[in-house]
Structure 1
Amino acid sequence: MTEALGTATPPTSMRLLLKGRFGWFFAGRTVDLAGSSMTTTALALAVLQASGRAGDLGIVLAANLVPTLVLLLVGGAVADRMSRRTLLISANLASGALMAALAALLLAHRYSLTYVALLSFGTGVVGAFTSPALRGIVPELVARDGLQRANALLATSQNSARILGPVLASVLVSTVGGGWAVAVDALSFWLAALAFTRIPGATRPPAARQALWRDLLDGWSVFRSLHWVVVMTVGFALGNAFNVGPLNVLGPQVIAGRDGATGWGFVQAARAAGLLAMSLVAVRMVLRRPLRDGRIWGTLSALPLLALGLSGRAWVVAPAAFLGGLGFSLAAITWESTLQQSVPTESLSRVTAYDDLLSFVAIPVSQLAVGPLGAAYGARTICTLCGIGYLAACLLPLLNTYVRTQHSPAGQPSS
């Protein structure tokens, strides 16, 4: 399926990577992820625990997502204008303060939908500036041929947090209350900010001062000029449209109807295990044509949808979800590394912001559309068709010559 799927590298090379500038970033990002992974679960349970109304939770979650999407492009422009290190420190301090205020409300049993939604809105605003800076700073800290290893390490910590965080959050909510889980997240933001202060100052020249709207237009020009980035982003948008709604909305319906709620939990655990397993393997994997190989591996993510449509039994869907997790993880790592290697550093945050926005805009459309479609034509039929559509979306970018032929910078990760 790929050329030179894996080659062992000296163990000292990873230690050197973690001892360098990237090490402090990795430490801060890991602490941040550990806290944040608990918040979604803790906040959902805490809001339901305090209000008893599912509608409140929908408002709180929407209040967080909307400002992130609206301000994402501005966040990318700001991250390209100023020190990304400074932006990350400031953003984490602000997020910690907002989470601490939210924790105080919950711990004092002074729940108010208005206040909780406003604080959630604030974290969404900060998130719009955090994401582009996080994606743009890695090439400042790691040599170009070590980016795949660095991104695989980051994916490992992220996927580990996805598995452990919700479990810990559930335990905290059921024992001492959701406020304490949110308080842990606040502390994690501040600890991450402290770790980020140990990152050396910016290594790139300061951006030329011009109006923010000019930066946004320049970022769009760079994004549009990179045809392979546009093609890949279109593929991601189509993939999200075919995958997210059917998997997260119809998946639980199909599995629970046959194997109960525990069956869907088993499927989710299998996918998380696949994500984590591949991120661990990718630390030592060599891909000579990472974009092409990432697209081919990414087709595995169609398997859970096809298994839902053709079988709908947890014992069939779970192995497919594990394989899908493997493919999704490697596709994400190769994409992140290729962007960081190929896009000019001074434009990277803006390009990734356009990539995120255009890729994610299809998600709410997918989530809203699949319910009526499933009711009209059958949930399993829609899952099957979307699995085929997702497969096509993964392969679509291979029509671009650069995607098919692009080589890794040195054929192997740096040592």
Structure 2
Amino acid sequence: MSSPLWNRSFILWLLGTAQSQFGSALAGIALSFLVLHQTGSAGQMALTLACTLLPNLLMPLAGTLVDRWPLKWPLLGADVVRGLLQLTVGSLALVWGEVPAGLINGAAVLSGLAGLFAGPATSAAVPALVAPDQLAKANGLLGSIGRGAWLLGTLAGGWIVTRWSPPVAILADGLSFLGMAVLLTWVKLPHRPVDRETPTRFWAELQAGVQLMGRSRLLMLAPLIALLLNASLAPVTAILPKLFGTLGASATGYGTFLALESAGLLLAGVMIVKFGERVRPVQLIGAGLLLTAMTYAALWQWPRTTILLAGAVLLGGGFGLINMPFQTLLHQRVPQAYLGRVFSVLGMVSSIGMPLSLLLVSPWLDLLPLTLWFGVAALAQGLGWLAWRWGLRSEPVQDTGLNYQSSS
């Protein structure tokens, strides 16, 4: 008999997540260097990344629909669409040699639109796969195994780009999305509880999700902190490939950085699986914010290859301490019937900072010192830590968080 955690559907979910993360890591490096090789501009790379993220403005609408549908539908559809898009871009790059920027950015927008449904659905599915007391371990396992696969993908991506070409890695990503879709057909997701308190009108359902978040100051504060952090980290994401190029490391150095960052995330996931039940999620989130702030400050002061690579491990660990416990915090605080809406509202507010920041700073990325953006990120992470500490003082939190299911 399967345990509450190690059941067939959850194991398939882990395998599918790992496969998708491996392919996405390949494509992340490949797309960055495809644009960089064609244009030589960090600003153009930032514009392509912004096109992928701008559809997040519509995420609350997608989340409301996700709460109406069986979770498999948006997950399967998103994986098939993104897989076909990646196969199209990769094939055209192989045939034409150079893909027009408009086509790349158009595919990025469509991929972002598909991701609108996949993100909330993926987060909402976890409580349906495992028992409530296994949520911390489940999120830790998903984060660590997914990042382990990402680590392998980044190492392979840097090697494939250097030895062959970016289009080959993009094609591999397309196949990984289609592979995830196949695995999803074998996953059994039980029916989620239905929200019977809210009228079955689209806008009323969306409003109910926002009102639920308003019951907790931390839930209202978290996306605002993420908005600030993502807005400051976006330029760092865009300048890293060019920075490694100036240091003589190019695609191999950038791939190694991402791999080491994934190793840090993997380590954080392992620690959460082992010790997560002993430490409150809110404490882990605060520790992650402080760690990333200190690491970015060090990279600003000493922007050398060895320091960058060492910092990548610490950044990954910090990101893991922020993201994985926050997933658990939401799973503990929000009824399952509302998860799609709450995750989508949080995702929209937090992610809008990155595309807007990229659009605003892209003209300046090639003009200002590249390392300046590490200092900006350090300041933003430090402010985020202070805001989180303030939120904890204004709203005392118990170990298990607020239980809205019993208080509603």
Do the structures match in fold with TM over 0.5? yes
1:406 and 2:394 correspond:
no
Equivalent-residue separation in structure 2 for 1:52 and 1:251 (angstroms): 16
Return the match for 2:274 from 284, 293, 299. 284
The Cα of 1:171 is off from its aligned counterpart by 3.0
Equivalent-residue separation in structure 2 for 1:159 and 1:104 (angstroms): 27
> What is the one-letter code of the residue matched to 1:26?
L
Q: Which residue number corresponds to residue 325 of structure 1?
A: 316
After superposition, give the CA deviation of every residue in 1:71-105 in whole Å (9 maximum; x if it has no partner): 21122111111111222112212222222222332
After superposition, give the CA deviation of every residue in 1:325-383 in whole Å (9 maximum; x if it has no partner): 323312211110110122011111111111112222333455546969977x9778656
- Match of 1:279, SS state, is helix
Q: Which residue number corresponds to residue 184 of structure 1?
A: 172
Return the match for 1:75 from 46, 52, 62. 62
Give 5+ residue unaligned stretches, structure 2. 403-408
> What is the one-letter code of the residue matched to 1:398?
L
The Cα of 1:256 is off from its aligned counterpart by 8.8
Question: 1:82 touches 1:206 (CA, 8 Å); kept in 2?
Answer: no
The Cα of 1:289 is off from its aligned counterpart by 4.7
1:87 and 2:71 correspond:
no
Equivalent-residue separation in structure 2 for 1:379 and 1:89 (angstroms): 38
Question: 2:125 touches 2:189 (CA, 8 Å); kept in 1?
Answer: no
Counterparts of 1:9-408 in structure 2, within 5 Å, are 17-49=5-37, 51-52=38-39, 54=41, 57-67=45-55, 69-109=56-96, 111-206=99-194, 210-241=200-231, 244-245=233-234, 247-248=236-237, 270-298=260-288, 299-309=290-300, 311-312=302-303, 319=310, 321-364=312-355, 368=360, 382=376, 385-386=379-380, 388-403=382-397, 405-407=398-400
Equivalent-residue separation in structure 2 for 1:250 and 1:187 (angstroms): 28
> CA 1:218–1:382 in structure 2 vs 1: closer, same or farther (change >3 Å)?
closer
Question: 2:83 touches 2:176 (CA, 8 Å); kept in 1?
Answer: yes
Question: Mean alpha-carbon deviation: is it higher for 128-137 or for 299-308?
Answer: 299-308
Equivalent-residue separation in structure 1 for 2:394 and 2:222 (angstroms): 9
Equivalent-residue separation in structure 2 for 1:130 and 1:193 (angstroms): 11
Question: 1:374 touches 1:382 (CA, 8 Å); kept in 2?
Answer: no
Equivalent-residue separation in structure 2 for 1:170 and 1:252 (angstroms): 11
TM-score, normalized by length of structure 1?
Answer: 0.80
The Cα of 1:260 is off from its aligned counterpart by 6.3
Question: 2:74 touches 2:118 (CA, 8 Å); kept in 1?
Answer: yes
TM-score, normalized by length of structure 2?
Answer: 0.81
The Cα of 1:309 is off from its aligned counterpart by 4.6
- Identity across the alignment (%): 25
> CA 1:18–1:182 in structure 2 vs 1: closer, same or farther (change >3 Å)?
farther
The Cα of 1:297 is off from its aligned counterpart by 1.9
Q: Which residue number corresponds to residue 7 of structure 1?
A: none
Question: 1:148 touches 1:334 (CA, 8 Å); kept in 2?
Answer: yes
> What is the one-letter code of the residue matched to 1:63?
C
> What is the one-letter code of the residue matched to 1:41?
I
Question: 1:32 touches 1:192 (CA, 8 Å); kept in 2?
Answer: yes
The Cα of 1:384 is off from its aligned counterpart by 6.0
> What is the one-letter code of the residue matched to 1:231?
L
- Match of 2:276, SS state, is coil
- In the alignment of these two chains, the number of paired residues is 391
> What is the one-letter code of the residue matched to 1:359?
S
Question: 2:221 touches 2:391 (CA, 8 Å); kept in 1?
Answer: yes
User: What CA RMSD, in Å, does the superposition of the two structures yield over aligned residues?
Assistant: 3.6
Question: Mean alpha-carbon deviation: is it higher for 132-141 or for 101-110?
Answer: 101-110
Question: 1:289 touches 1:407 (CA, 8 Å); kept in 2?
Answer: no
Equivalent-residue separation in structure 1 for 2:185 and 2:259 (angstroms): 35
- Match of 1:282, SS state, is helix
> What is the one-letter code of the residue matched to 1:345?
Q
The Cα of 1:222 is off from its aligned counterpart by 1.7
Question: Mean alpha-carbon deviation: is it higher for 95-104 or for 182-191?
Answer: 95-104
The Cα of 1:47 is off from its aligned counterpart by 4.1
The Cα of 1:213 is off from its aligned counterpart by 2.4
> What is the one-letter code of the residue matched to 2:154?
P
Question: 1:287 touches 1:408 (CA, 8 Å); kept in 2?
Answer: no
